[in-house]
A and B are shown apart, each in its own frame.
Chain A
Amino acid sequence: MPAVSLTVNGKPVRVEVEPRTLLVQLLRDNLRLTGTHVGCDTSQCGACVVHVDGKAVKSCTMLAVQAEGADVLTIEGLAPGDALHPMQEAFRQNHGLQCGYCTPGMIMTAVDIVRRKGFDLDDRTIREELDGNLCRCTGYHNIVKSIAAGARAMAPDAPMPQAAE
């Protein structure tokens, strides 16, 4: 079996995988990072979005061996320890999730939207940019709200977050 070496959430790992193994399978099955979810088999749902070398990627569309040498960030690595990334906190504050299954992919996508589009996101931009992520619970209303709030909180000049309610 070929081996693949990569960095996941800041830690170097080396894993032997069958050539057909997908990146999401490596993360979930080999590394037991089960926060990245699988919701479909046609790359439509976006539940499996992670960052590969700083960019959002559907980890079901990439073979594990293609991640050789890559720097992969999953939902588990977005914030250190028990801290929350501003985007995670924004989803919590704005009820941007219900069953939670699409949430890790939504949050990883949201952080990537901010990277590409900046900290001041309007409703229309967010909705367009969420084209690759499906949620069946929220009707997107509070996800859009969460992402706008999370983006503002990620700005370098954003005020320090208030204590959680």
Chain B
Amino acid sequence: MSATGLGASVRRKEDFRFVTGRGQYTDDIARPGQARAVFVRSPHAHATINRVGTSAAAAMPGVLAVLTGAEFAADKLGSLICGWMVHSKDGSPMKMAPHPALVAGKVCYAGEPVAVVIAESLAQARDAAEKVAVDYGALPAVVDPAMAQSADAPQIHEIATRNTIFEWHLGDAQATETALRGARHVTRLDLRNNRLAPNAVEPRAAIAEYDAGTDGFTLWNTTQNPHVARLVLSAFVGVAPEHKLRVIAPDVGGGFGSKIFIYPEEVICLWAAKKVRRPVKWVADRTEAFLADAHGRDHVTHAEMGFDAKGKIIGLRVKTIANLGGYMSTFSSSIPTYLYATLLSGQYAIPSIYCEVDAVYTNTVPVDAYRGAGRPEATYVVERLIEVAAREMGIDPAELRRRNFIKAFPHQTPVIMTYDCGDYGASLDKALELAGYKSFSERKREASRRGKLRGIGLSTYIEACGIAPSQAVGSLGAGVGLWESAEVRVNPTGTVEVLTGCHSHGQGHETTFAQFVAERLGIPIENVAIVHGDTDKVQFGMGTYGSRSGAVGMSAVAKALDKVEAKAKKVAAHLLEASEADIVFKDGKFTVTGTDKSAAFGEVALNAYIAHKFSGSELEPGLKEGAFYDPTNFTFPAGCHVCEVEVDPEIGETRIVSWTAVDDFGVVVNPMIVEGQVHGGIAQGVGQALMERAVYDETGQLVNGSLSDYVLPRAEDLPPLVVDTTVTPCPSNPLGIKGCGEAGAIASPAAVMNAITDAIGTEDLAMPATPQAVWAALQRTTRRAAAE
């Protein structure tokens, strides 16, 4: 292994600009003559818009335009869309309601934009926005997914009777029913997967510019996938044609899914920029982020897991109601279906599984992918069930898991997926060893002497990443292909630019992709630049989410590098006056086999461009190759997380005292970066388990829409994290990579809840396990015990 090659913890190339304040995020960009946009947002969760009075606002100082939903409708722009078709059991398509970027008739969630003010300065736009007079006719609202389908709930969209978007199912209902009926033991749980606000620390922002000379648009946007944004904005919304719209995602300050989607604000900025003939900039404040960024999770689930006399799982049945909010966001339909139910087999050999999912509209901001997206919800169901089952049957939870692990690969689950490889016993054993599982009872006794309740919880999770191949996801309803593109441009001086359709918003691609390219070409890592996030530079790409960049994006680079090497060998053959078949490329050198004749990579690159050694009829000059890579399967990262907690029974407070993670991500490019991804994922999962929940009251007001009210994990809430790996190389891509970005968030909520319920001795506890919730659960247990 070289100091900068695959497997080395290379320090990040991007960090110099970030630690010195030289990063360039969207809000750091100021375009000459830019105006500022401020949105007028509905204070009602559900209301008709009777009239929007704009004259007072338009007369305010500095105001360039006040635009409303009526004008947006008059321009006949298209609707925002959900790009994944899901069909109901009866074969009917999902009920996708129109979603105009600026509404005219009715609002469906509090915070929905109804007008926009464009003014010379932010302060002037804010002042004027307060003068926009909207006459609303308030309607009753529904916010709870469990209530959305009831007969007395208000119907939000004409197209969706009883607010039902689809009633979907997967698996074999009859076989599962038979299995559960014949089971020796059935564990049943009612679970809520709490609604989360993603809260990347950089709020969303957009700057749109229109050039009348070229009739072209440029959009700087906090997006994880600039090409998909351009596609939706052009092909569906029609705000600008694809070839006349440049989307730039500069430095992006975290995404976690929330910056995948195409939101109303960027549509409006583009539309308004052409109207006012000025660059239009919008930056969300945190309150807007809470109100208008797509939220995550929000499932209500009943689940049953059946076991035979030997403790083998024989059937799993799950019924989930998934809240999709007021409109269907870009990928919302796929999250509680193909990214959720397909993972319900976990790491276990389960002969029969049946899952029903009803997706519903409510008067809340749309819900879509948030770190893990469907897979944390599935893991929470499976890992809570097996832990509770172990306790009910009096079997050690680690042993019950081990008894049910899949051991032979490939393994076909009853819910679509074919797991390609893994060694679940290895990651469990290593995690238990590192966590000191065997000596837990001693620590529990010691804690008890201090008046603390100590608990331990496991989560042996699986996820599906690198969502592909395109043909497969297309058959499941995806509106796009999920391949990735790469282009390798070798310059005459031998330096290399690599263009990727992936996008880095914290993942460190400028380093990891460069590690791979430098090693492969045998050139210094400083000579490699990674280019991403600009539709004018990179022709097309699918962006970064679903832990796909290594497995899919880097594989595309590998494919392009194969072509570069093949072409360079031809150049080298001419240069070295040898047969192409005799040229060997190794460690940055082209050698004529069996001789000492060789040429360095840079020399061959130069000769490819000066083209003095070959004729144009023999070989094209230049050294630049592109590739599109479509994987043969999903990848299946898996592992085991062990959480140990201490609960103070007096006040219900939970302290996480230790955390051990052993993950199998296949081949690891940069261990330092991979560990960092795991750390961050764990923190987000701990946030979900202990403190985070976006709360809407019954009228549809988000009651904790600020960082003073919605609690994010802080440094004090987390212990030092022990993170390690096991490796089974992924056979489904050339590099053996599985992906690591979401694992922490997928594994951790179940581990925390398993630990707390172990500590307090009751399963009657929902996320987030706040001190109040834990204390109340303890009181209920004490009361029950007293009554018995």
Q: Do A and B truly interact?
A: yes
With beta carbons under 8 angstroms apart, the residue of A35, A39, A75, A131 that contacts B202 is A39
B409 CB–A CB distance under 8 Å: no
Question: What DSSP secondary structure best describes chain B's contact surface?
Answer: loop
Q: Which residue of B lies closest to A90 (CB)?
A: B19
Query: Are A95 and B23 neighbours in the complex by a CB distance under 8 Å?
Result: no
A70 CB–B CB distance under 8 Å: no
Query: Are B201 and A42 neighbours in the complex by a CB distance under 8 Å?
Result: no
Q: How far is the CB of A158 from chain B (nearest CB, A)?
A: 18
List A contacts of B706 (CB < 8 A): 40-42, 44
B286 CB–A CB distance under 8 Å: yes
Query: Are A135 and B201 neighbours in the complex by a CB distance under 8 Å?
Result: yes
B56 CB–A CB distance under 8 Å: no
Query: Are B201 and A39 neighbours in the complex by a CB distance under 8 Å?
Result: yes
With contact pairs A95-B673, A126-B715, A127-B716 given, residues A75 and B21 touching in the complex (Cβ less than 8 Å): yes
Query: Are A34 and B21 neighbours in the complex by a CB distance under 8 Å?
Result: yes
With contact pairs A40-B707, A91-B15, A140-B683 given, residues A74 and B199 touching in the complex (Cβ less than 8 Å): no
List B contacts of A154 (CB < 8 A): none
A32 CB–B CB distance under 8 Å: yes
Q: How far is the CB of A17 from chain B (nearest CB, A)?
A: 11
* A88-B499 Cα distance, complex, nearest whole Å: 29
B285 CB–A CB distance under 8 Å: yes
With beta carbons under 8 angstroms apart, the residue of B19, B287, B672, B684 that contacts A91 is B19
Question: What DSSP secondary structure best describes chain A's contact surface?
Answer: loop
Query: Are B25 and A37 neighbours in the complex by a CB distance under 8 Å?
Result: yes
Q: How far is the CB of B390 from chain A (nearest CB, A)?
A: 28
List A contacts of B286 (CB < 8 A): 39-42, 45
Query: Are B19 and A107 neighbours in the complex by a CB distance under 8 Å?
Result: yes
Query: Are B506 and A37 neighbours in the complex by a CB distance under 8 Å?
Result: no
A61 CB–B CB distance under 8 Å: no
Interface code B707-738, partner A: CB below 8 Å = 1, 0 otherwise?
Answer: 11000111110101100000000000000000
Scoring A38, A107, A144 by chain B CB atoms within 10 A of each residue's CB, the highest score goes to A38
With beta carbons under 8 angstroms apart, the residue of A28, A38, A39, A143 that contacts B715 is A143
Interface code B1-31, partner A: CB below 8 Å = 1, 0 otherwise?
Answer: 0010000001110111111111111011010
Among B63-71, B247-255, B535-543, B604-612, the stretch in contact with A: B247-255
B508 CB–A CB distance under 8 Å: yes
A136 CB–B CB distance under 8 Å: yes
Q: Which residue of A lies closest to B200 (CB)?
A: A136
B680 CB–A CB distance under 8 Å: yes
A118 CB–B CB distance under 8 Å: no
List B contacts of A92 (CB < 8 A): 11-12, 15-16, 19
Q: Which residue of A lies closest to B289 (CB)?
A: A40
Interface code B378-389, partner A: CB below 8 Å = 1, 0 otherwise?
Answer: 000000000000
B679 CB–A CB distance under 8 Å: yes
Scoring A47, A100, A103, A164 by chain B CB atoms within 10 A of each residue's CB, the highest score goes to A100
Query: Are B201 and A97 neighbours in the complex by a CB distance under 8 Å?
Result: no
B444 CB–A CB distance under 8 Å: no
A20 CB–B CB distance under 8 Å: yes
Interface code A22-36, partner B: CB below 8 Å = 1, 0 otherwise?
Answer: 000000110011111
List B contacts of A112 (CB < 8 A): none
List A contacts of B684 (CB < 8 A): 136, 139
Query: Are A131 and B203 neighbours in the complex by a CB distance under 8 Å?
Result: no
Total contacts A-B at CB 8 Å: 190
List A contacts of B46 (CB < 8 A): none
B256 CB–A CB distance under 8 Å: yes
A115 CB–B CB distance under 8 Å: no
Q: How far is the CB of B22 from chain A (nearest CB, A)?
A: 7
Query: Are A102 and B707 neighbours in the complex by a CB distance under 8 Å?
Result: no
Query: Are B715 and A144 neighbours in the complex by a CB distance under 8 Å?
Result: yes
* A40-B28 Cα distance, complex, nearest whole Å: 16
With beta carbons under 8 angstroms apart, the residue of A78, A136, A165 that contacts B680 is A136
Interface code A94-105, partner B: CB below 8 Å = 1, 0 otherwise?
Answer: 010111111110
Query: Are A98 and B254 neighbours in the complex by a CB distance under 8 Å?
Result: yes
Q: Which residue of A lies closest to B19 (CB)?
A: A88
List A contacts of B19 (CB < 8 A): 75, 84, 88-89, 91-92, 97, 100, 103-104, 107
Query: Are A136 and B22 neighbours in the complex by a CB distance under 8 Å?
Result: no
Q: Which residue of A lies closest to B22 (CB)?
A: A35
A123 CB–B CB distance under 8 Å: yes
Query: Are B253 and A99 neighbours in the complex by a CB distance under 8 Å?
Result: yes
* A144-B12 Cα distance, complex, nearest whole Å: 18
With beta carbons under 8 angstroms apart, the residue of A123, A128, A165 that contacts B11 is A165
Query: Are A99 and B15 neighbours in the complex by a CB distance under 8 Å?
Result: no
Query: Are B12 and A95 neighbours in the complex by a CB distance under 8 Å?
Result: yes
Q: How far is the CB of A29 from chain B (nearest CB, A)?
A: 8
With contact pairs A101-B201, A140-B715, A140-B718 given, residues A134 and B20 touching in the complex (Cβ less than 8 Å): no
Query: Are A139 and B718 neighbours in the complex by a CB distance under 8 Å?
Result: yes
Q: How far is the CB of A108 from chain B (nearest CB, A)?
A: 10
A93 CB–B CB distance under 8 Å: yes
Scoring A41, A76, A93, A137 by chain B CB atoms within 10 A of each residue's CB, the highest score goes to A137
Report A138-152 residues with CB < 8 Å from chain B CB. 138-144
B505 CB–A CB distance under 8 Å: yes
With beta carbons under 8 angstroms apart, the residue of A35, A40, A41, A42 that contacts B21 is A35
B393 CB–A CB distance under 8 Å: no
Q: Which residue of B lies closest to A89 (CB)?
A: B19
A52 CB–B CB distance under 8 Å: no
Q: How far is the CB of A44 from chain B (nearest CB, A)?
A: 4
With contacts A34-B25, A137-B506, A144-B720 known, what are 20 further pairs, Cβ within 8 A?
A35-B20, A37-B27, A37-B201, A37-B253, A39-B201, A40-B707, A41-B287, A76-B21, A84-B20, A95-B11, A100-B17, A101-B201, A104-B19, A107-B19, A130-B714, A134-B714, A136-B256, A141-B676, A164-B11, A165-B11
* Interface CB pairs A-B, < 8 A, 7: A44-B708, A97-B15, A99-B252, A131-B714, A134-B714, A138-B676, A139-B683
- 7 nearest A-B pairs in the assembled complex, by CB-CB distance: A35-B21, A101-B253, A100-B18, A99-B506, A139-B683, A139-B679, A98-B506
